[in-house]
C-alpha cells in the first residue's frame, strides 16, 4: 500500500510538469505559426518602400554630380547617389538647413583615399533606405550616352560622340523662356482640396516640351485635372513622368503614341493651358504652364493607389538647367524637332 502511494506521489508532479510543458509547447507553436503567417503576408504584399520624400537640395545635388563626373578618370570613382544617400542618412533626409559642403568634401576625400562606402556606412541604419529612394529618383540621371555634336571642321556636319554625364534634360527646350518657383504641396482646389503634387514651369503657349528621361509612353489623352497630358515610364520602371496642361487643339508631337519609345531630349508636346474640365480640349488654366510630376514606383501596386509617391521637383528642375535640348522648327509642319540626336543603352539594346 505504502509503495503504491509513493509511486503515485512521484507520478503526479511528473504528469503536471509534462502537462505544463505541452501547454507551453502548444502556445509557442501557435505564436510561431502566427509570426510566420504575418511574415508571409508581408512578403506577399511586398516589402517595398511605401513612403519617400526627396529633399536633397540643389547645392548638394550639383556638388555630388561634379564630384562623380570629375572622378571618372581617377582610380577610385565616386558615385553621386552613394554620396547623397550618406548625407541623407546623416541629415535624416533633410538637407535644407543641414547641408554643409564640407560634409560632402570630407566624404569624397575618404572615398578617394580608398575607403569603401560599405565600411563608412556600416553603422548608418538608414543608409540602405536613402540609397534605395535616391536610386529610384536619380538612378538613370548620370551615365554613358551618345550624342550628336557639331563637327569642328564643318558646321553642318554632325557626328556621334560617346560621353559620360548628365543624360536627362530640362523639360523646356533651349532658348525658350520660362520660370518656376517652389510650389510642391501648395493647395489646389479644382475637384477637391488637395496638395500640388508636381512642379509648374511657366512658359508661353506653344513652347516645346522636352522629355526629361528616356522611356515608354504609358498614357496619352485627356484627364480632367491635367487636360491634355502624357505619361512616360522610365525603362527601369521606377519613375512615371507626368506632363500636363498641354496646348489646346495640338497638344502632342506627332510621334507621341501609347507604347512609343521616347529618347531623353525629344520634343513630346507643347505648353498650353488645358485642364480642370470634364470636357475635352478646354482651356481652364489661367496661366500657360507645364505641370511636371515624377511618381516613384517601388511596386506596381503603387502606380494608381491612395499611396502614390510624388516628389518635390524644385531642386531637380534647377539642376536640369545644365542640360537643355536644342530644337528647330520645321517650316512646313510648324513642328519642332531636336537638333542633335541622342542614344543610350536602352536604344542600343533594341537594335
From residue 78 to residue 107, the character string flagging contacts with Zn ion as x (rule: CB under 5 A) and all else as - is ------------------------------
Only one of the segments 107-115, 125-133, 200-208, 342-350 lies at the binding site for Zn ion (rule: CB under 5 A); that segment is 200-208
Task: Provide the residue count of the chain.
Answer: 351
Q: Three cell numbers at 334?
A: 510648324
| 63 in contact with Zn ion (CB under 5 A) | no
Our CB check for Zn ion shows the closer of 78 and 294 to be: 294
| 200 in contact with Zn ion (CB under 5 A) | yes
Strand ranges (DSSP E) for the chain?
142-150, 158-166, 178-180, 187-188, 194-195, 199-203, 208-210, 215-223, 227-234, 239-244, 261-262, 267-270, 289-296, 309-310, 327-329, 336-338, 342-343
Separation CA 245–CA 264 (nearest Å): 20
CB 338 within 8 A of CB 267: yes
Separation CA 7–CA 14 (nearest Å): 11
Smallest separation, CB 225 to Zn ion (Å) = 9
Smallest separation, CB 274 to Zn ion (Å) = 12
Q: 207: which DSSP letter? A: P
From residue 273 to residue 302, the character string flagging contacts with Zn ion as x (rule: CB under 5 A) and all else as - is ------------------x-----------
Our CB check for Zn ion shows the closer of 60 and 309 to be: 309
Only one of the segments 21-29, 164-172, 194-202, 311-319 lies at the binding site for Zn ion (rule: CB under 5 A); that segment is 194-202
Separation CA 341–CA 325 (nearest Å): 10
Nearest residue to Zn ion, by Cβ distance, number only: 291
Our CB check for Zn ion shows the closer of 90 and 290 to be: 290
CB 294 within 8 A of CB 310: yes
| 253 in contact with Zn ion (CB under 5 A) | no
Number of chain residues interacting with Zn ion (CB under 5 A)? 3
User: Which residues of this chain interact with Zn ion, rule CB under 5 A?
Assistant: 198, 200, 291
Amino acid at each position: 500500500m505504502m509503495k503504491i502511494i509513493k509511486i503515485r506521489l512521484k507520478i503526479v508532479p511528473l504528469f503536471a510538469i509534462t502537462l505544463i510543458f505541452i501547454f507551453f509547447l502548444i502556445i509557442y507553436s501557435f505564436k510561431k505559426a502566427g509570426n510566420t503567417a504575418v511574415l508571409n503576408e508581408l512578403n506577399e504584399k511586398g516589402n517595398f518602400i511605401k513612403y519617400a520624400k526627396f529633399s536633397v537640395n540643389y547645392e548638394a545635388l550639383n556638388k555630388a554630380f561634379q564630384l562623380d563626373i570629375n572622378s571618372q578618370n581617377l582610380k577610385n570613382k565616386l558615385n553621386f547617389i552613394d554620396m547623397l544617400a550618406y548625407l541623407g542618412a546623416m541629415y535624416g533626409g533633410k538637407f535644407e538647413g543641414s547641408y554643409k559642403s564640407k560634409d560632402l568634401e570630407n566624404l569624397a576625400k575618404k572615398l578617394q583615399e580608398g575607403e569603401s562606402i560599405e565600411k563608412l556606412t556600416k553603422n548608418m541604419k538608414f543608409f540602405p533606405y536613402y540609397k534605395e529612394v535616391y536610386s529610384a529618383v536619380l538612378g538613370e540621371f548620370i551615365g554613358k550616352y551618345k550624342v550628336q555634336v557639331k563637327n569642328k571642321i564643318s558646321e553642318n556636319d554632325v557626328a556621334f560622340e560617346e560621353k559620360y554625364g548628365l543624360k536627362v534634360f530640362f523639360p523646356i527646350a533651349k532658348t525658350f523662356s520660362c520660370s518656376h518657383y517652389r510650389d510642391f504641396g501648395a493647395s489646389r482646389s479644382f475637384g477637391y482640396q488637395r496638395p500640388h503634387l508636381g512642379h509648374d514651369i511657366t512658359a508661353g503657349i506653344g513652347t516645346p516640351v522636352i522629355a526629361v528621361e528616356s522611356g515608354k509612353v504609358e498614357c496619352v489623352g485627356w484627364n480632367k485635372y491635367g487636360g491634355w497630358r502624357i505619361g512616360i515610364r522610365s525603362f527601369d520602371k521606377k519613375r512615371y513622368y507626368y506632363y500636363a496642361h498641354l496646348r489646346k487643339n495640338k497638344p502632342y508631337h506627332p510621334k507621341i503614341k501609347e507604347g512609343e519609345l521616347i529618347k531623353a531630349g525629344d520634343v513630346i508636346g507643347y505648353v498650353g493651358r488645358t485642364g480642370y474640365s470634364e470636357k475635352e480640349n478646354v482651356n481652364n488654366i489661367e496661366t500657360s504652364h507645364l505641370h511636371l510630376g515624377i511618381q516613384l514606383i517601388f511596386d506596381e501596386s503603387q502606380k494608381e493607389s491612395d499611396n502614390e509617391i510624388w516628389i518635390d521637383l524644385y531642386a531637380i528642375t534647377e539642376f536640369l538647367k545644365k542640360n537643355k535640348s536644342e530644337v528647330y522648327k520645321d517650316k512646313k509642319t510648324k513642328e519642332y524637332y531636336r537638333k542633335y540626336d541622342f542614344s543610350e543603352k536602352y536604344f542600343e539594346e533594341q537594335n
